[in-house]
Structure 1
Amino acid sequence: MSEVTAGIEQGTSALLSELPESMVGIWRRTMEPEGMVYRRDPRFANEFCHWAQVDRIPARKSGTRIVYAGESGARGFLLDPFFRPSAYLEQMLSQLEESVPVEVIDLARVSIKLKDLMKVCTECIQLEPDVLIVYAGDNWRKSLWGLTDEEKHQVLDVLNRGGEERFQGIQAVFEHKSEGFIVSFLEQLHQQYVLQGIPVILVIPEFNLKDWRSSKSDRELVWPQGEQGLWLEMSNQLDRYVHSGQLEEVQKLVDRFIELNRANPKGYELLGRLQYGEGQTREARQWLERARDTSVYRLGPPPACTSFIRDQLLTYSHKYKMKVIDLPAVFNRELNGGLPGFNLFLDYCHLNPEGIHLMVSEIASTICEALGHDQLPSSILNNRIKPEAKTQSKAHFYAAIHSAHIGDQPYEVLYWHCCEAMKHWSGIADWFVALADLSARKTPWLLNQSYKTICTPQYVILRQFRDCMVMDMDLVQAMLQCLKEAGRDIESEINDLRIREHAPELGETVDLLETYYRENSYFNVFAGSKSVDYNHRNQIYYSARSHTSSFYLIADPKQQLLVNLTLRRQHIPQDDNQVLIKVNGVKVFETLLNEHWSSHSFSLDRGLLLDSGVNQITFHWPNIDQVVEDMASAIQAKFDPYEQIIQRARPVYGDIFKLEICNIYPLKEG
C-alpha cells in the first residue's frame, strides 16, 4: 500500500468515525408512522439549493431501491429540478415487466468534493439500497491540489530543474495522488457494498470536446522559465496564420509551440480543430483531450475528468468488481466516432436532454444486468422524453450565463445559446432585457427588481459576488443582438444606462481597478480569492499576471478625460522595461517602469472614445525573461512552499496601485 493511500485511508477512517449515524447528507433520520424516513435538516437550509431537490426520503418498502449520488452532472444541472436524470431513470425502470416497484433516491450535489462524496456514499447504506450509482470524476481534480509537504517539495524540485520535463514531473505527482484517492474510495465502496452483494455502478463523465473553448486565462503562459518572448511571438504568429487560413503554416509551427509550454491548451486546441476540419476525427479527439487535460495544472474552473483519472477509475473499478458506465466510450459509440459537443452538452460537462437520455438508457440497462432482470426493450430505451420548451429555453439562457461567468467563453458560444433560448420560447426575450439592465447598473442584483425575473430554482448559483461585480459585456451583447434580430432593439438604451451609471461626471473620478472594469467573468473569483490580485485576498493593488492587462473605460464620447496612474515593477531588467498603454488599440502613453511606485497623468482626446461608451484601456507589459530567475528567488525567500508554486505559476509582470479616470473638463457639444 502506498504512503499516499495509507494517509488517505487514515484520514477517511477518522472522518467516518465522526459521522452521525442519523444523517445521510443533509437528510436527518426520523421515525414516522410509516417507518424510518429522512427529512432535510433545517440546520443545513443554506445548502438545500445545492443538493437534489428532495425534501423527504420515504421509508424503505418492498421493491427495488436505487441510490443515485454524484456531482452536478448527475443532477442534470441547468435543467434540474424540472428535468432530472434520476426521475427519468425511475420512469424508465418502472416499465420493467416484473411487477416490482422501483424508486430512485437522488442524493446528487452541485460541486461536491471527493471527501464529501465519500461521506455521503458511506452514510447512504442506511437507506438499504439494492444498487448504488456514483456519477463522479469531474470535481476530483481540485482535490489533487491539497498537496502534502512532501508533494509540495516534489513539485518545487521539478520546477527548479526546469526544462520541458517539468510539466511531466508535476503531472506525475498529481497522478500518484489521484491513484491514492481512487483506490481508497473504491476500496471503501467495495467493503461496504460489493462484498454485501449490493452492486455499485460508476458513471465516468465526458467533456464537451468539440464546442467548449479554453478561456483567455487558461491560455496564459504558466511557470515561465525564460521562454516568454519566444512563446508570445509564436502565439501571435499562430493567430495570424489561423486568421488568414494558412493551416499548413499552423501545422509547421504548433508542435514547437506546444514544446515550449505543455501546460497550455492553446496549441493542442489548434491542432485538434485543424484535424477535425480535415475530417480526422480520431486524431482531433486525442489533441482536444490533451487540451482538456491541461486543466490539472490550474485551480480554476471549469472542472473536468482528466484522462488519467478516467484510466485509473477504469482500472480499479475492475479490480474492485464494480460496473462502469464510461460516458466517453458510450458517446463515442452513439456518435459513430464523432466528437461530443453541443449535440450532447449544455456547457463543458453538463448534459443536454439528448445526453441525459443516452446516459440514463445506459444506466437502466446496466441496472437490469446487475440485478438479473430482463433487459428493457429498445422501444423503451429509445423513447426520448423531452423537457418543456420553456425549461429548455431557460436551460440555454442559464448556460449562456454560466459559460460567461465560469468559463469566460467567447461571444460566439454565448450568442449560440441565446439564439437557442429564443427558438424554444419567445418569452425569454424579457429575461434578456432583465439581465442587460442588471449588468449595466451598479445597484446590487438583490436590490434590483429585474433579478426576480431571472432567478429560478433551475439555476441555483445565479448570483453576484459582493466584491466581484461584472458588467457581462459579451454576454449582454449576445442577448442584445438576439433581441435586435427579433425586432426589439434596446442597445442604445443599455449604452446610455452604462454611461449614466459608470462614466465620471464633471469633477468626479472612477476607479478602474474595481471589478466592473477589470473582470468580464467570475473566473478569478473561483481561483481562490476575490481581491484586487486573485492570488492575495487582502492585497490592495492590482498585479498583472500576464503580458497584457485590459480594463473597461465607460465614458460619454463627448468627454475629455484625464487618467491618473500609479504603477511599478519589482524586478527591473537591463533593457525592455517600457510599459505601453493603448485605448481602443491606439497608443496613448508609455513610460519606463521603476522598482518603486511612480505616478503619471495623461489626457484622452474625445476622438479616441467610442460612441457606444464602452472603451478598453490596455497595458502591454515588458518581457519577464531577463528577470524570471530573480523573481523565483524572491518568491522562494518570501513564501511558503505551496504559495511558491502558485506564485511561480503566474509571476507578476507589473503592479498598479491607482488607475483612475477623471472628468475635469467641461462637456462641449458638437
Structure 2
Amino acid sequence: MSSNDAMKQLSDEIAAQVYRDQRGDFARLLSFANLIDSAAPAPAPAAKAEADAGDRIGVWKLDPASGAFARDVAATADWAYWAQVQSIAASSPRKRVLFLGESVARGMFYDPGYTPAQVLEQVLAGALRERAPEVIDLARTNASMATLRRIAAQAERLAPDQVVVFAGNNWAGNRSYLGEERAYALATALRENGINGLRQRLETILAAEIDKLIDDVAALYAQRGVPVCWVLPEFNLEDWRDPKVYAHWLQGQDANDTWLALLASAETLLAQGDFAGAREAGEAMLALDRGDCATTAYLLASCSEGLGDHAQRRHYLEMARDASIVDFTRSYSPRITALIRELIARKAAQHGHAAVDLQQVFAAATGRAIAGKEIFLDYCHMTSQGIRLAMAAVGRQVLQQSFGQDAEPAALLEHAAWPSDADESDAHLLAAIHNAHWGQAYDVVLHYCGRAADKSPAILELMGIIVEIQNERLPVWMNARATELLETVSPQIKRYLFSMEFKCLDRLLLDAFAECCAQRGVDLASRLSALRLQGHCVDKLGSVDLLDPYYHSTSFSNQQFIDGGVNQHHDFFKGYEPVSQFCFISDDNRERTLSITLKSADGASGEHAELRVNGAPCQRLALTGQWRTHEVAVPASLLNKGVNEVAVVWAKPALDGAAELARIGRDIRQHAMAEIYPVFGHIYAFEARKDAAGRKPEFAPA
C-alpha cells in the first residue's frame, strides 16, 4: 500500500469517527496524523491507574503470557519518544545496565539508527567480551524530572546491576515545580531584590527539586546495592546563541535608559575592534542587570575573545546560557546550567555515586575549553564523535563500578562504532533544520547542510522536498510528494519531518539549502523563488497578513500568536525589540500598500515610529496611546521581486522600572504570565496589499 493510500484510509477513518462521535478513538487517530500534539498525551484516569499498578515500564507493559514487557499499543502515540524496541525481558542471565535519560541520551537526530545506548553496549562488549552486560535503553525524549523518577522506580523490577542516568538538560526549563503555593514567595523576592531576587528564588526552588530527585533515585537503588553513574551533559557554548533580548525591568531611576545607551555604545566600540572600551561599557551594563540578561554576557564574551581571555569568555558564555531561567515569555532550548551541574556532582558524591562530566571529557579530547560543531549538532545533542567520546567515558565508569576493571578511553573508543553515512547525513540535515528553527546563525545552518550533503548527495533531493513543504500552508501529511517519502526515508527523518509543527517562510533555512545545492551544481534557488511567488505573492493573494506568524516569525523564540495564544496578555503583536521585523513577497516592483494599526507601548502621544522597507526609510508613523491606522503607499523604487523586508523602528518608550516591577509582582500573585521585559510598541493589524492606498478610518475600534 502506498503512503497516499494509507493517508487516505486514515482520513476516511477520522471522518467516520467524527460521524459516529467516538471521541476516544478519534483522538488517537488525530495523534497518528499529527493533527494534535502528542508530545505529552494526557492519560485517561484508567490508563493512569494502570501505569501506577506495577505492570509497566515506560511504554512497555507486562505480557503475562511471555513474562516480558512488550510495547503497549495503547501508548502508540508515545512510542517515538522511546527506544524502538518491541519487548524487554523481565530477567536475563547477563548483567544489566539501565540507561536512563533525555533526548541527548536518546541520540536525537541519529535515533533509532545509532544511539548512545548502542554505543555503550559496544564499548562494554569490546572490553568484557563473554562477560558483556545487556544495556537496556530507557531514555526518553522530553523526559522531565518526574518522568525520570517514575522510570527509575518502574525499572527497578528489571533487577539491574548498574544504573546510568544521563540527564539535566530539561530541568531548568520545566516549570512544573512552580505551584500556586510559591506565588507569594516569588513576588516577595521580586519586591525585595528585583529580577535578580526572583531568579535566586527560582533557583532555590529548582535546587530543592533536584536534591529530592537524586535522593529518591539513590534511596531506590541503595536497597539492593546497585551502583549509579550520573552523566553531566555539556552545552554548546561555542556556537549556540539565544535570542537577543534587551534588559529586563531594572531597579533604579533611569536604569533601563542607561542600559540601552551603554549597549549602543558597546556595540559600536565592538564593531570598531575596541574590545577594551566595549568591555568597560559591558561591565557597566552588567552592574545594572546583575548577570540576568544574556545580551550583556554575550557582549562581554566577545570582548574577552577579542582580548584573548579564554577563561573569561567561557565564564560569560555560561552566564548567558544560565540567564534564561527568569524568562517565562520566550521559548528557550533545553540546557544544563552551572547550578544543575554543581548539584548533580555534589549530590552524586554525597551518595557515593560516580559522575562523568562531559565538559571535562570533551575538553580533554579536543584540547579546547569550549567544544563546538565537532561535538554538537545543536545546543546539547551530540555528533557521532561526541556520542563515542561520551560513551567511552561512561563505559570506563561502568567497568570500574560493576566489574572492578579499568581501561583507557582511547582503548574503549576502538570498540565504539561510527554510524552509516546515511545516518550521518540524516542527522546533519535534521540539525540544520533544528538550528534554523531555533534562530541560529546562517553559517551554522549552512555548515550542517554541507556536512549532510558530503555524507550523502541524495540529501539534496530531500532539501528540495522540504522547500516545497515549508512553502505550503497545509499540514505536512497533506503534501502528496512528502507522503511518498514514507516509503523511502529513514525513521528519524520520517519522525521529524512529519511532526514538524513550526511552519514559517523559513528564509534562512531554505536559503541555506539553496546555497548548499548551488555549491554542488544543483539549482534549487530558482525553484525556491518560484514557490515563494506562487504561494505567497501579494499580487496573487490580494493581501497578506503580516501578523500571521508564518510571515513574522523566524524561530520558536520570536513566534507570536495574535489570537490570544502564547506570550500574549492581549490580542495584538508586542514589539519586544526596538525594531520589529516582517516580510512579504511581491511579484514585481510596482507600488504596494502597507496598512498598519499601532500604538505606543507606554500610552504616550507625540512620538513617531519609522517604517522601513528593505532597509530604506519609507514613512514616519505618529504614535498615540490609542490605536491608529496608517495607510502607506510604498513606492516601486523600494521594492524587490521576491522577499521584501519590512521593519517598524519604535520610538523609545518611557521606561519606569519601579512601576513595572510592581506590575510583575501582581501578575505572579494572580498566576498570570509575568512579562519581565519592556515592550517598545504594539501592533493591532498589519497588512500588505496589492491595491493602491485607499481611505481607512484613522482610528481602529477600541
Does the 8 Å contact 1:133/1:200 carry over to 2?
A: yes
The DSSP-based 3-state class of the residue aligned with 2:436 is helix
Q: Which of these residues, 352, 369, 382, is aligned with residue 321 of structure 1?
A: 352
Q: Which residue of 2 aligns with 1:400?
A: 432
Write the letter of the residue equivalent to 2:379: Y
Does the 8 Å contact 2:504/2:549 carry over to 1?
A: yes
Superposed displacement of residue 537, structure 1: 6.4
Q: Which of these residues, 682, 687, 691, is aligned with residue 660 of structure 1?
A: 687
Superposed displacement of residue 355, structure 1: 1.0
State how far apart, in whole Å, the 1-side matches of 2:119 and 2:541 are. Answer: 61
Q: Which of these residues, 422, 426, 439, is aligned with residue 457 of structure 2?
A: 426
Describe how 1:468-483 pairs up with structure 2 within 5 A: 469-483=503-517
Q: Which residue of 1 aligns with 2:337?
A: 306
Q: Does residue 1:518 correspond to 2:549, yes or no?
A: no
Superposed displacement of residue 562, structure 1: 1.2
Distance 1:543 1:167, change over 3 A: closer
Superposed displacement of residue 436, structure 1: 1.8
Write the letter of the residue equivalent to 1:223: W
State how far apart, in whole Å, the 2-side matches of 1:198 and 1:273 are. Answer: 46
Write the letter of the residue equivalent to 1:658: A
Q: Which residue of 1 aligns with 2:421?
A: 389
Q: Which residue of 1 aligns with 2:497?
A: 462
Q: Which residue of 2 aligns with 1:258?
A: 286
Describe how 1:575-586 pairs up with structure 2 within 5 A: 577-586=607-616
The DSSP-based 3-state class of the residue aligned with 2:131 is coil
Q: Does residue 1:173 correspond to 2:204, yes or no?
A: no
Write the letter of the residue equivalent to 2:277: E
Q: Which residue of 1 aligns with 2:311?
A: 282
The DSSP-based 3-state class of the residue aligned with 1:623 is coil
| Residue range with higher mean Cα deviation, 228-237 or 391-400 | 228-237
Q: Which residue of 2 aligns with 1:245?
A: 273
The DSSP-based 3-state class of the residue aligned with 2:497 is coil
Distance 1:487 1:271, change over 3 A: same
Superposed displacement of residue 189, structure 1: 1.4
State how far apart, in whole Å, the 2-side matches of 1:94 and 1:393 are. Answer: 27
State how far apart, in whole Å, the 1-side matches of 2:114 and 2:264 are. Answer: 44
State how far apart, in whole Å, the 1-side matches of 2:670 and 2:49 are. Answer: 28
Distance 1:127 1:16, change over 3 A: farther
Q: Which of these residues, 62, 83, 89, is aligned with residue 93 of structure 2?
A: 62
Describe how 1:154-233 pairs up with structure 2 within 5 A: 154-161=185-192, 166-216=194-244, 219-224=245-250, 226-233=254-261
Write the letter of the residue equivalent to 1:222: H
Distance 1:558 1:143, change over 3 A: closer
Q: Which of these residues, 302, 317, 326, is aligned with residue 297 of structure 1?
A: 326
The DSSP-based 3-state class of the residue aligned with 2:229 is strand
State how far apart, in whole Å, the 1-side matches of 2:449 and 2:271 are. Answer: 25
Q: Does residue 1:137 correspond to 2:168, yes or no?
A: yes
Q: Which residue of 2 aligns with 1:641?
A: 669
Describe how 1:561-576 pairs up with structure 2 within 5 A: 561-569=592-600, 571-573=602-604
Superposed displacement of residue 230, structure 1: 3.1
Superposed displacement of residue 178, structure 1: 2.0
Superposed displacement of residue 634, structure 1: 6.0
The DSSP-based 3-state class of the residue aligned with 1:340 is coil
Write the letter of the residue equivalent to 1:622: A
Describe how 1:498-647 pairs up with structure 2 within 5 A: 498-505=532-539, 508-524=542-558, 530-532=561-563, 535-536=566-567, 539-569=570-600, 571-573=602-604, 577-611=607-641, 613-627=642-656, 629=658, 639=667, 641=669, 643=671, 646-647=674-675
The DSSP-based 3-state class of the residue aligned with 1:599 is strand
Residue-by-residue CA offset, 1:214-239 (whole Å, 9 max, x unaligned): 223xx333235543433333323333
State how far apart, in whole Å, the 2-side matches of 1:242 and 1:449 are. Answer: 50
Q: Which of these residues, 421, 438, 462, is aligned with residue 469 of structure 2?
A: 438
Residue-by-residue CA offset, 1:323-377 (whole Å, 9 max, x unaligned): 1112122223333353111121111101111111111111111111111332246
Q: Which residue of 1 aligns with 2:301?
A: 272
State how far apart, in whole Å, the 2-side matches of 1:94 and 1:313 are. Answer: 28
Describe how 1:25-174 pairs up with structure 2 within 5 A: 25-33=58-66, 36-97=67-128, 99-144=130-175, 146-149=177-180, 151-161=182-192, 166-174=194-202
Q: Which residue of 2 aligns with 1:11?
A: none
Q: Which residue of 1 aligns with 2:21?
A: none
Superposed displacement of residue 81, structure 1: 0.9
State the aligned residue count: 636
Does the 8 Å contact 1:513/1:532 carry over to 2?
A: no
Residue-by-residue CA offset, 1:109-157 (whole Å, 9 max, x unaligned): 1111111111111110111111111111110002346424454333333
Does the 8 Å contact 1:422/1:428 carry over to 2?
A: yes
Q: Which residue of 1 aligns with 2:5?
A: none
Q: Which residue of 2 aligns with 1:7?
A: none
Residue-by-residue CA offset, 1:527-556 (whole Å, 9 max, x unaligned): xx8555654569532222232211112112
Does the 8 Å contact 1:194/1:322 carry over to 2?
A: no
Distance 1:404 1:96, change over 3 A: same
State how far apart, in whole Å, the 1-side matches of 2:50 and 2:463 are. Answer: 50
Does the 8 Å contact 2:199/2:325 carry over to 1?
A: yes
State how far apart, in whole Å, the 1-side matches of 2:658 and 2:622 are. Answer: 21
State how far apart, in whole Å, the 1-side matches of 2:242 and 2:409 are. Answer: 38
Does the 8 Å contact 1:275/1:284 carry over to 2?
A: yes
The DSSP-based 3-state class of the residue aligned with 2:509 is helix
State how far apart, in whole Å, the 2-side matches of 1:211 and 1:537 are. Answer: 30
State how far apart, in whole Å, the 2-side matches of 1:630 and 1:101 are. Answer: 64
Write the letter of the residue equivalent to 1:656: I
Superposed displacement of residue 521, structure 1: 1.8
The DSSP-based 3-state class of the residue aligned with 1:458 is helix
| Residue range with higher mean Cα deviation, 505-514 or 300-309 | 505-514
Does the 8 Å contact 1:579/1:622 carry over to 2?
A: yes
Distance 1:289 1:50, change over 3 A: same
State how far apart, in whole Å, the 2-side matches of 1:625 and 1:158 are. Answer: 25
Does the 8 Å contact 1:344/1:355 carry over to 2?
A: yes
Describe how 1:344-423 pairs up with structure 2 within 5 A: 344-376=375-407, 380-383=411-414, 384-405=416-437, 407-423=438-454
The DSSP-based 3-state class of the residue aligned with 1:292 is helix
- TM-score w.r.t. length of structure 1: 0.88
Write the letter of the residue equivalent to 1:211: D
Superposed displacement of residue 276, structure 1: 3.6
Distance 1:515 1:645, change over 3 A: closer
Superposed displacement of residue 605, structure 1: 0.8
State how far apart, in whole Å, the 1-side matches of 2:310 and 2:601 are. Answer: 47
The DSSP-based 3-state class of the residue aligned with 2:191 is helix
Does the 8 Å contact 2:603/2:626 carry over to 1?
A: no
RMSD of equivalent CA atoms? 2.7
Does the 8 Å contact 1:507/1:664 carry over to 2?
A: no
Does the 8 Å contact 2:544/2:687 carry over to 1?
A: yes
State how far apart, in whole Å, the 1-side matches of 2:296 and 2:655 are. Answer: 25
Distance 1:569 1:271, change over 3 A: closer
State how far apart, in whole Å, the 2-side matches of 1:665 and 1:17 are. Answer: 64
Distance 1:597 1:377, change over 3 A: closer
